[in-house]
Structure 1
């Protein structure tokens, strides 16, 4: 009888610790998302980032980077990890640029995407590893290419808000629609019967064709003004200049 009670007590304690840990984890993620929301609302507007101002007030950015480093992710729900990695990527890009600002663009920093490692949830990851191994390979969602902002003008416009676990799917849908209806990002040419698109569609073609017959078909899923089926898809040169104000 005593042994049975002891086992029940141990189970109860374990459950209590587990629930307590889960609550603490959720609280940390909630706080990080809230802080990211405030940061982007302050420093990102109309698709541009005020790196000069961030440089003068970098304590808020440093606090976010510390949260990213220490975030416990074991046991997190899929949408929690998805929103976290999207936010973490965008914040770490801003941190990398701010460290070297003023600078012409991300490619002026050697190894910016594929060599420099960041502490992310207890792991050491490059930006490419966050994108490819923690987001693309896991979620297989082409919409993320309009949410990950690489600090270049050629990227889709950065949102002035964080991605939230409970809203991330709706936010990605909205972000994709905005990008694919932006005449500066998707450029139809009536005279030549072409549509010029970002090289993102070339680099990640497999992602866009996973559930679509063509790039044109993918575009028309989200466009208000559909592109004629006779249009050819071509690519304009990616603009790597900094997306600064």
Structure 2
């Protein structure tokens, strides 16, 4: 009897290990891992600089496209953007040919991965335009559609396996998922020379926008603060409330009621 139980336990254990191994391989194959790409931890106090990197990429083409097709509200003229699809493809090709290495600074890596995510999201929308929502596209965040060197990643892999692991919660207000409830798409490229100021700008703008409803005794926050709650909490910042208060014009009192808004996945298209 004991021998049978032991055999059964070993079989179950082996089955679990094989399932876990297969699942990990499937996730990697789907582009949801970092595929071994270099990504550094952001220091507690990030500074903007190009002086400490072996590579400093030129993101001016992306800035040119954004300033032409994205308004101050972050809404995108996708119909007109389609006319510049070749220029966007040129920019994506440049990113693909420049795989981040360990000799890149954390500033340069951070700017690269944010721009990579945003530019490929726009490209994905253009490939499927017209549409009502990014969620109308099959597996938009899990298909390995992003080429970096000889690697292929999914948008979800860039966000969850690279950017979130860089220990910089402000990335949640920099990457744009082409939806109304998303933080707005900044109409300039992120660069190592301005990265800290840009991240502060988009974080402050998002928190004080109508994407959140903040009062002293009650706050209804974006679902982003619910989905990624653990990213905002550190040894110094003990709660989402404390994180928001760093940037909010209205400070939320301790003990205030905090709830989360429904997410509007409709396309962030200019009307």
User: Into which bin does the TM-score normalised by the smaller protein fall?
Assistant: 0.7 to 0.9
Aligned to 2:80: 53
RMSD value, Cα: 1.5
| Structure 2 Cα separation of the partners of residues 173 and 199 of structure 1 | 20
* 1:122 CA drift (Å): 3.4
Q: Residue 229 of structure 2: which of 195, 202, 205 is its match? A: 205
| Structure 1 Cα separation of the partners of residues 134 and 87 of structure 2 | 21
Q: Residue 241 of structure 2: which of 216, 219, 224 is its match? A: 216
- Residue pair 1:73, 1:121 contacting (<8 A) in 2 also: no
* 1:189 CA drift (Å): 5.3
TM value normalised by structure 1? 0.83
- Sort the Cα spacing of 1:116 and 1:73 in 2 relative to 1 into closer, same or farther, 3 A: closer
Higher helix share: 1
Is 1:171 the counterpart of 2:198 in the alignment?
A: yes
Deviations 1:32-64 (A, max 9, x none): x11111111111112101110011231111111
TM value normalised by structure 2? 0.75
Aligned to 1:89: 117
Length, aligned pairs only: 214
SS of 2:120's equivalent?
helix
Deviations 1:49-93 (A, max 9, x none): 111001123111111121121113222111111100001100000
Structure 2 unaligned segments of length 5 or more: list them: 1-53
Identify which range, 121-130 or 84-93, moves more after superposition. 121-130
* 1:181 CA drift (Å): 1.1
- Residue pair 1:152, 1:243 contacting (<8 A) in 2 also: yes
| Structure 1 Cα separation of the partners of residues 267 and 158 of structure 2 | 21
Moved over 4 A (4+): none
Structure 1 unaligned segments of length 5 or more: list them: 1-24
SS of 2:141's equivalent?
coil
SS of 2:152's equivalent?
strand
Q: Residue 154 of structure 1: which of 156, 181, 185 is its match? A: 181
| Structure 1 Cα separation of the partners of residues 182 and 149 of structure 2 | 26
